[in-house]
Structure 1
Amino acid sequence: MKSVLPTLLRRLVSPRPPAASRFPETIDLGGRSLPVVVRPHAAARRITMRLAPGGEAVRLTVPPRVSPTLVAAFLDRHAGWVRERLAGAPPLDLVAPGTLLPFRGGTLRCRHETGRRAARIEANGPGDHGLTVGGDPARFARRVRDALKREARGDLEAAVAGHAQAVGLAPRAIALKDTVSRWGSCTADRRLAFSWRIVMAPPFALDYLAAHEVAHFREMNHGPRFWALCRELCPDMDRGRAWLKSEGASLHRFRFD
C-alpha cells in the first residue's frame, strides 16, 4: 500500500495559499449599489475617492499593495458621502438628434436622416462639424458612438504609428474601450488600449496620450527616463496632460446607449 506520509508532509511544509483577495466591485448605498473602480497608483499615499461623471461609478485611487479589506472598510465609512454627491450629480446627457458634442477640440452637431445608410461627418467650418446618421431612431446614439469610434481609431493609429517609429518598436495591437478610470494603457508585450472618447478632445491631448502609451514600449514605469522620453515624443506634453486632468471628465457626461 502506497504511503500517504510524503503527501501529508508536503501539505504541512507548503500549505496551499489562500485564494487571492479582490477589491470590492460595488458599494452598497442602502437599497442601491454602485460600481466601484479601483486604481492602484505607485505615488498614492492614501485612498482617495471621487464620483464618476453622472454618478455612474465610484472611483478610488489607492496606494500599491493596499488590502481589499481596508478598501472595503473605507467604502463603508464613506457611503454617506457618496449618497450626498449622488443627490447633487447632474444626469448624463443622452445623445439625440441635435446634440452638440465636443469633437477634435471643436464641435460636432448630430443629425438624423431617414433612409441614410452610412454615417457621414462633414466639416462646416474651422472646428465645426456635422454628423448625419440614419437607420432606426432608437439606435441613434449607438450609431453616433460607432462613428466616433471609427474616427478615434484612425486618429490614434496615425499618432501611435508616428511615435512608434520614433522609438523603433511597433504595437502588437490597439484596442478601443470606454473606460472611466484611465485614458490609455500599455502591456509589457506592447498591446495598447485607449478610451475612444479621446477623439472628442483637442488633437494635442490625443497626441500626448498616444505618446504616453508608446513611451511605455521603452519604459514600463513612470520614472524620470519615461517622462523624458514622453516629452521627446510630444514636446507639447504638459498642455495635453493638463487638459486631460482638468477637462477630460467632461467627455464622460454623454450617454450613447
Structure 2
Amino acid sequence: MADHHLPGHPPVPLTVRRSARARRISLRISQLDGRVTLTMPNGVPERHALEFAAEKEDWIRSHLEARQSNESVNIGSTIPVEGVELRVEVGTGRNVAVKADVVLVPVNSAPRRLERFLKELARDRLADASDFYSARLGRSYSRISIRDTRSRWGSCSAQGGLMYSWRLILAPPPVLRYVAAHEVAHLNEMNHSQAFWDLVEDIHGPYFQQRQWLRDEGASLHRYRFDG
C-alpha cells in the first residue's frame, strides 16, 4: 500500500493498494473518514491508477466537498444523544447529566468526560437490548464489548461474543435496538442468508426503516470528536 497525492488546491491524499482479486482499477471514497483508495490488480503499473484518479478528479473533489467535516465536541457544542440534539453546557455537579435539551458536563476535561458518559450509556442500552432479543431468541450470548469501530456497527463471534460501536447511542433508540437484534440473530445464523433476515424480523419486527437510517445517516455519527 502506497500513499500519493492528487495535485491541485488542496492536494488530495490517495492510498494505492494492490489486490490479487481485483480485475480492474477501482476507486472508493470512505463515507466515514473521506479516505480515497485506489485498488488495482497485480501487474498493473501504478501510474495507470494515478492517471485513473486524475481523470476522476472532478468527481472525487465534489464528493469530498459534500462530506460533513469533523466536529470537535466541547462546551457550547450540539450533539445528538439517543437521537435528540442536546447542547453541551457546564454543570455544577461532578457527573455528566442530561436535563431537558442540554447535557451538563463538568468543565474540567469536558470532552473526555462526555465521551466516557456516552460509552457507559451505550453499554447500558445495548446490554438491555441484547438481553431482550436473546431472550426472544432463546439463546444467550457470552459477553458484550463496546468499541469505536469505523467499519461496522456490531459483530457476533463464533463464541457468542457481541461487539457494538458505542456511537449507536447517538442514533435514535430504534436504530440501536435494530443493531442489537441483528447481532443477536447471528447467534443462530452466522451469515446473511434469507433465514438470517427472517430471524431478525421474527425477534425484532420490520427493520427496513432502521437499516435505511444507518445507510443514510450512520456516517454522520463518526464526525464527532472528543479530543478537544
Q: TM-score range by the shorter chain?
A: 0.7 to 0.9
Q: Please, which of 79, 83, 86 is the counterpart of residue 101 of structure 1?
A: 79
Give the drift of 1:140: 1.9
* Structure 1 SS opposite 2:79: strand
Tell me, yes or no, if the aligned pair for 1:52 and 1:59 is still in contact at 8 Å. Answer: no
1:171 aligned onto 2:132:
no
1:218–1:198 CA distance, 2 compared to 1 (3 A): same
| Unpaired segments ≥5 residues, structure 1 | 1-23, 37-45
Q: Which has the higher contact order (CA 8 A, sep 6+)?
A: 2
Q: Please, which of 235, 238, 250 is the counterpart of residue 205 of structure 2?
A: 235
1:170–1:27 CA distance, 2 compared to 1 (3 A): farther
Q: Please, which of 99, 106, 119 is the counterpart of residue 134 of structure 1?
A: 106
Cα distance in 2 for partners of 1:163, 1:32 equals 45
Cα distance in 1 for partners of 2:37, 2:139 equals 33
Give the drift of 1:142: 1.7
Instruction: Give % identity.
Output: 34
Tell me, yes or no, if the aligned pair for 2:154 and 2:163 is still in contact at 8 Å. Answer: yes
For 1:13-32, list aligned pairs within 5 A. 24=1, 27-29=3-5
State the AA in 2 paired with 1:119. V
1:238–1:48 CA distance, 2 compared to 1 (3 A): farther
Q: Who is 1:222 aligned against?
A: 192
Give the drift of 1:201: 0.8
1:193–1:28 CA distance, 2 compared to 1 (3 A): farther
For 1:15-54, list aligned pairs within 5 A. 24=1, 27-29=3-5, 49-53=28-32
State the AA in 1 paired with 2:28. M
Give the drift of 1:131: 1.5
Q: Who is 1:14 aligned against?
A: none
TM-score (norm 2): 0.77
Give the drift of 1:112: 2.0
**May I ask how many residue pairs the two structures share in their alignment?**
210
Q: Who is 1:120 aligned against?
A: 97
Look at both structures and tell me which one has the larger radius of gyration over its CA atoms. 1
State the AA in 1 paired with 2:166. W
RMSD: 3.3
